[in-house]
Structure 1
């Protein structure tokens, strides 16, 4: 993931030069910086993290199918007799 640098001092100076108070400018700069620090997940990251879950889900599907088959086969044998 690539990082984007954010010059908060320059941003605060720009806001102050447009007439905003220093406290407001700093608060906005901090909010913007915090918002940029959020890490986004790429499609590749998501696929990589979900692969073990997919494998486990496939195993569970087979296990459930096997349990159902074990339960249904004796019932079908009773119906055929």
Structure 2
């Protein structure tokens, strides 16, 4: 997965400008950093790559199924 960049200093300053105390802003920042560290966030690029891999795998499965059916048809 792709790492996301996040300006924590600017986040804290924004919270302080909106009326949060420095301690509150730092606490919210720490909680958000922990949540983002634990979460696995998929980007659009990640999703496109996964879609491509799934398309290739599905195509391979369909080709294999056709080959099996054709072989069985010849045998029977």
TM-score of the pair, normalised by structure 2: 0.51
Unaligned runs of 5+ in 1: 76-81
Deviation at 1:69, TM superposition (A): 2.1
Closer, same or farther in 2 for the Cα pair 1:9/1:54, shift >3 Å? closer
Q: Could you tell me which runs of 5 or more consecutive residues in structure 2 were left unpaired when the two chains were aligned.
A: none
Assess, with a 3 A threshold, how the Cα gap between structure 1 residues 30 and 65 changes in structure 2: closer, same or farther. Answer: same
Could you say which structure has the larger radius of gyration?
1
Q: CA RMSD in A?
A: 3.3
Structure having greater relative contact order (Cα 8 Å, sep ≥ 6) = 2
**How many positions carry a matched residue from both structures?**
68
Quickly say closer, same or farther: Cα 1:54–1:16, change in 2 above 3 A. same
Q: Which residue of 2 aligns with 1:34?
A: 34
TM-score, scaled to structure 1: 0.49
TM alignment of 1:29-68, pairs within 5 A: 29-37=29-37, 38=39, 40-68=41-69
Moved beyond 6 Å, runs of 4+ = none
Q: 1:72: how far off?
A: 3.0
